[in-house]
Chain A
């Protein structure tokens, strides 16, 4: 049986990998890649061309994924921490992005929504929007930590009100930043053919990695998420730690919001970052992280975010209209989430073990 002998080796590697949380998002990624490879290999083509300003840029679906997956991946960082510590999700991140983006434009444009020049340096605008997003994060966080409201219910408040607040900040006008420099952050820096959001995302990953590596955040967050009472008796302050995770998510929100408004140099309050909260939660789930809190893998969440963007881009490529997109996505999501459910994983594991045993037996028979 030469055929079985051939795939016996990858099966063994897979068995080892199955213990790793990364396996589900990786498998999903491979599956999507394989589908595209069979359906239309041109999906993987990357070309170098010039944009309207005459600067060299890379084109291709893969570049699109890296570009547009950035905001999602950045949000997934914060969402993972919030999920792990509070055992629930923040569904207001889309609305909060609208607020922080709106604040940013307000600072940049000042009183005139069509200002010819920026009224403040970008860094100042970013810091102010970041502080605002952190405050809203702290608002959500204190509802969850001190008032013990279920996270989804607590964040429902901002989810409902956020976009109105965003519109109110700019008196319902749509300010436009005319300085091309502002657009660099959501598009391309002249001369660099790789989209800037990708660099920003990588920067965020490095900062998060350092935060997890050089502080005890990971241990504290997991302890609080698994057993709050024990954590308290070991000197932790569970309320403060939960609050902190929401504030950190606030920072992620402001960075993602910055990229979003920079892409267009303006804002549309009702459409910007619409439904992104669901994708961010999905990224965490797809990464195999327990949505009830506790242990987490940051890498798996980030990978999960890119897998979702991969899926979205694939669907767009095959001509699925923006309106029909959620329905297609839902089907794939059901598959992915059931696959990563512990009950199903156990079954798959058991099946694999059985198969392996059978293969070894037959291999021994052949020898």
Chain B
């Protein structure tokens, strides 16, 4: 590629208080290519995008556009340099017409010639193959069309660099196909497109090159043909295939036992857009859902617990058919769920540690049977001691505790209900190593006492160490189930990557 790059970033640094979001990141975008920006959540994708769209100002580094050094200090400057972004949530006005949305905020004079604008919009939409009337109200178009109109707006602003941030997450397959056609058309016109997505299949369908980020650092830039899926996954997760020594575990295998499962769900589905799945767990078993972030693993356990709206499926607990549509139904069946987002779904910030611990059991016990103060304190103290929660007193508001201790309090809340089936969604995220080990040990201990546990973690080795069965998710579908000898890093990654079989045969 002798041509000068369309957009080039060299040695970008950006930190926020306490976090080094980007460290020495390079990025090159050529004219007329579709470039995937990949990485797990928190890898720095959004920060990088925000740096060259002017939302964040870089701490150090250079940005070149067609070889010329430029400063981008605000979204307006980015636009003037031909960089446009279409975000996941559409930031257009649904109550205005299509043409109005394309031209809004761009008039040069005080007067607007709507007739002229409508005509121009019509021509633009036609040239891009988008089939809508310019006078139609935007809100009446499908999400996919709205997204394309947002792209059309960017194209009309003579953008040379187009950033698509998770554009496909709310589209169905035919809509995605339409969007890809538009992307290919733009590519042919010489626009450089940066495509951010969680969907691996889509990357391999439209992209030419891939840049992978991990923990705020550049992992590398690759041509799509030279990077098989499994390699991509291993690069994103930061695990080389070679040094994945298999971890020995003497976890019992449950596959052949004819014991009735503690929980058995068939054809489960919720409103959160996952494909229907089957799931069962036996007494004393630890299993887990794995997959990339956004692959639907949390949505699966939320369906089991009734946390999202359940749309289909039959559930058997201990062989008896039951209905679980709300969390309270699940709790009454002895199911407990520690949610992924501790702040949003886990803690009641202003309430004391004591109240946070007794909450679930209190709800289960009933409205007219409140625990006395001394009972509540006794419960709280018992579990504070058991889990070694570091808190000034039982009356300290939970929000003033550290993340790890908050997590222990939530765990205490569910252990207090003496569940027979415990679901832990990312219990070890964002907490210190010591607590992580504590939680894993506790899980194994609980299982040996007969509790069934489902465990989700972004760290595959944690799961390999504890789980006897792994369910693998990809693109919101359950794509595989691994047991016994298959429980190795390599096998997990191959299944997550899916598709190309060649790389799987190691």
Contacting B at CB under 8 A, from A218-257, are 219-220, 222-223, 226-227, 229-237
Nearest CB of A to B374, in Å: 14
Expressed in whole angstroms, the Cα–Cα distance for A134 and B365 within the complex equals 27
Contacts of A215 in B (CB 8 A): 367-368, 370
User: Is B307 interfacial (CB-CB < 8 Å)?
Assistant: yes
Interface centre among B327, B339, B344, B348 (most CB of A within 10 A): B348
Please state if A219 and B346 are interface contacts (CB–CB under 8 Å): no
Interface centre among B307, B347, B360, B363 (most CB of A within 10 A): B363
Expressed in whole angstroms, the Cα–Cα distance for A237 and B325 within the complex equals 12
User: Is A287 interfacial (CB-CB < 8 Å)?
Assistant: no
User: Is B359 interfacial (CB-CB < 8 Å)?
Assistant: yes
User: Is A214 interfacial (CB-CB < 8 Å)?
Assistant: yes
Q: Among B1-9, B119-127, B164-172, B349-357, which stretch is in contact with chain A?
A: B349-357
The listed residue (A217, A226, A231, A237) touching B349 by CB distance below 8 A is A226
Expressed in whole angstroms, the Cα–Cα distance for A220 and B366 within the complex equals 11
Expressed in whole angstroms, the Cα–Cα distance for A236 and B367 within the complex equals 10
User: Is A294 interfacial (CB-CB < 8 Å)?
Assistant: yes
Chain A contributes a number of interface residues (CB within 8 A of B) equal to: 22
Nearest CB of A to B66, in Å: 48
Binary contact readout B198-238 vs A (1 if CB under 8 angstroms, 0 otherwise): 00000000000000000000000000000000000000000
Please state if B359 and A214 are interface contacts (CB–CB under 8 Å): no
Expressed in whole angstroms, the Cα–Cα distance for A233 and B339 within the complex equals 8
Please state if B327 and A232 are interface contacts (CB–CB under 8 Å): yes
Contacts of A235 in B (CB 8 A): 326-328, 331, 360, 363-364
User: Is B13 interfacial (CB-CB < 8 Å)?
Assistant: no
User: Is B337 interfacial (CB-CB < 8 Å)?
Assistant: yes
Interface centre among A219, A230, A234 (most CB of B within 10 A): A234
Please state if A233 and B345 are interface contacts (CB–CB under 8 Å): yes
Nearest-CB residue, chain B, relative to A293: B350
Nearest CB of A to B331, in Å: 5
Please state if B349 and A234 are interface contacts (CB–CB under 8 Å): no
User: Is B362 interfacial (CB-CB < 8 Å)?
Assistant: yes
Contacts of B305 in A (CB 8 A): 233
Contacts of A294 in B (CB 8 A): 350
Expressed in whole angstroms, the Cα–Cα distance for A219 and B413 within the complex equals 14
Contacts of A217 in B (CB 8 A): 367
Nearest CB of B to A244, in Å: 10
Please state if A233 and B351 are interface contacts (CB–CB under 8 Å): no
Chain B contributes a number of interface residues (CB within 8 A of A) equal to: 29
Please state if B346 and A236 are interface contacts (CB–CB under 8 Å): no
Contacts of B360 in A (CB 8 A): 234-235
Please state if B368 and A222 are interface contacts (CB–CB under 8 Å): no
Expressed in whole angstroms, the Cα–Cα distance for A220 and B363 within the complex equals 8
Nearest CB of A to B429, in Å: 17
Contacts of B347 in A (CB 8 A): 227, 230
Nearest-CB residue, chain A, relative to B362: A216
Please state if B367 and A223 are interface contacts (CB–CB under 8 Å): no
Please state if A234 and B351 are interface contacts (CB–CB under 8 Å): no
Please state if B364 and A229 are interface contacts (CB–CB under 8 Å): no
Nearest CB of A to B347, in Å: 7
Expressed in whole angstroms, the Cα–Cα distance for A235 and B337 within the complex equals 11
User: Is A295 interfacial (CB-CB < 8 Å)?
Assistant: yes
Binary contact readout B320-348 vs A (1 if CB under 8 angstroms, 0 otherwise): 00000011100100000101000011111
Interface centre among A219, A236, A237 (most CB of B within 10 A): A219
Please state if A219 and B328 are interface contacts (CB–CB under 8 Å): no
Given A233-B327, A233-B339, residue A219 in contact with residue B345 (CB < 8 A)? no
Nearest CB of B to A277, in Å: 26
Interface centre among B327, B344, B364 (most CB of A within 10 A): B327
Please state if B348 and A231 are interface contacts (CB–CB under 8 Å): yes
Expressed in whole angstroms, the Cα–Cα distance for A235 and B366 within the complex equals 11
Contacts of B367 in A (CB 8 A): 215-217, 220
Binary contact readout B406-433 vs A (1 if CB under 8 angstroms, 0 otherwise): 0000000100000000000000000000
Contacts of B346 in A (CB 8 A): 230, 233
Nearest CB of B to A314, in Å: 35
Expressed in whole angstroms, the Cα–Cα distance for A229 and B368 within the complex equals 23
Please state if B351 and A295 are interface contacts (CB–CB under 8 Å): yes
Nearest CB of A to B366, in Å: 8
A-B pairs with lowest CB-CB distance, top 7:
A235-B328, A235-B363, A216-B370, A235-B331, A234-B360, A226-B348, A227-B348
Please name 6 pairs of A and B residues whose Cβ atoms are closer than 8 Å in the assembled complex, sorted by A: A217-B367, A220-B367, A230-B339, A230-B348, A232-B327, A233-B346
